[in-house]
A and B are shown apart, each in its own frame.
Chain A
Amino acid sequence: GAGVSQSPSNKVTEKGKDVELRCDPISGHTALYWYRQRLGQGLEFLIYFQGNSAPDKSGLPSDRFSAERTGESVSTLTIQRTQQEDSAVYLCASSLGFLGLYEQYFGPGTRLTVT
């Protein structure tokens, strides 16, 4: 079946502009996660959604970052007033359920470059 998809695959933007990154999880997966990976660094957690519960936003690095999810489907990560330090690969993952009991399936990522 279809895996996790993300769009765009690459995004180049000027400093100060807003960007929106999209994630389509695997159908039926109730949990959705956003992570990022800066060049040469490890993966960092940003935010996750589980069903209709309030999202865990504890990993968002600043109030310029926000995310929404429509039901149990598409999610959008928005970065306002982008800065050069926002340049990274943004990865989305989904899982059947929550509480750390389920394997996570990763999308191919969106490579964001802020110039």
Chain B
Amino acid sequence: KNEVEQSPQNLTAQEGEFITINCSYSVGISALHWLQQHPGGGIVSLFMLSSGKKKHGRLIATINIQEKHSSLHITASHPRDSAVYICAVNRGSQGNLIFGKGTKLSVKP
């Protein structure tokens, strides 16, 4: 069993829809990261969080440490949000990331 599980694997939405991507993990962590990978392959860090909730523009990330679960929400989705969204964790005090398999999001106009 993977230490970081994401769902869904693939997601297709219409422009304007509210989107939720889920991430569950089975290890103790010091931080959880949400990353975005565009079709060209570049990876951008969206959020790093260890508790509560963070918001950047239309993106919101939440984490529940007790339940070992995080969600990434996108409000008013747009075709430019189409990308692979990756959940990753720092296990314990380790610096390296352990990754989920990613969620491929396609937003149709």
Q: Which residues of A contact B (CB under 8 A)?
A: 31, 33, 35, 41-45, 48, 50, 56, 59, 89, 91, 93, 95, 98-106, 108-109, 111
Q: Which residues of B contact A (CB under 8 A)?
A: 29-31, 33, 35, 41-45, 48, 86, 88, 90, 92-102
CB A110 to nearest CB in B, in angstroms, measures 11
> Which of these, B31, B96, B98, contacts A56 with CB under 8 Å?
B96
**Which of chain B's residues has its CB closest to A108's CB?**
B42
CB B54 to nearest CB in A, in angstroms, measures 12
Q: Could you tell me if A104 and B30 are in contact, using CB atoms closer than 8 angstroms?
A: no
CB B61 to nearest CB in A, in angstroms, measures 13
Residues of B within 8 A of A44 (CB): 99
Residues of B within 8 A of A95 (CB): 95
Interface SS, B side: strand
Docked complex Cα distance between A41 and B101 (Å): 7
**Which of chain B's residues has its CB closest to A58's CB?**
B96
CB A77 to nearest CB in B, in angstroms, measures 14
Q: Could you tell me if B95 and A31 are in contact, using CB atoms closer than 8 angstroms?
A: yes
Docked complex Cα distance between A19 and B91 (Å): 31
Q: List 27 A-B contacts (CB under 8 A).
A: A31-B95, A33-B95, A33-B96, A35-B97, A42-B102, A45-B96, A45-B98, A48-B96, A56-B96, A59-B96, A93-B43, A99-B30, A99-B95, A100-B29, A100-B30, A100-B92, A100-B94, A101-B31, A103-B48, A104-B33, A104-B45, A104-B97, A105-B45, A106-B43, A106-B44, A108-B41, A109-B42
Residues of B within 8 A of A98 (CB): 95
Residues of B within 8 A of A45 (CB): 96-99
Docked complex Cα distance between A33 and B31 (Å): 16
7 closest A-B pairs by CB: A100-B90, A100-B30, A106-B43, A43-B99, A42-B101, A45-B96, A98-B95
Most buried by A among B30, B33, B42, B44: B42
Docked complex Cα distance between A45 and B30 (Å): 17
Docked complex Cα distance between A104 and B41 (Å): 16
Q: Could you tell me if B30 and A103 are in contact, using CB atoms closer than 8 angstroms?
A: no
Residues of A within 8 A of B92 (CB): 100
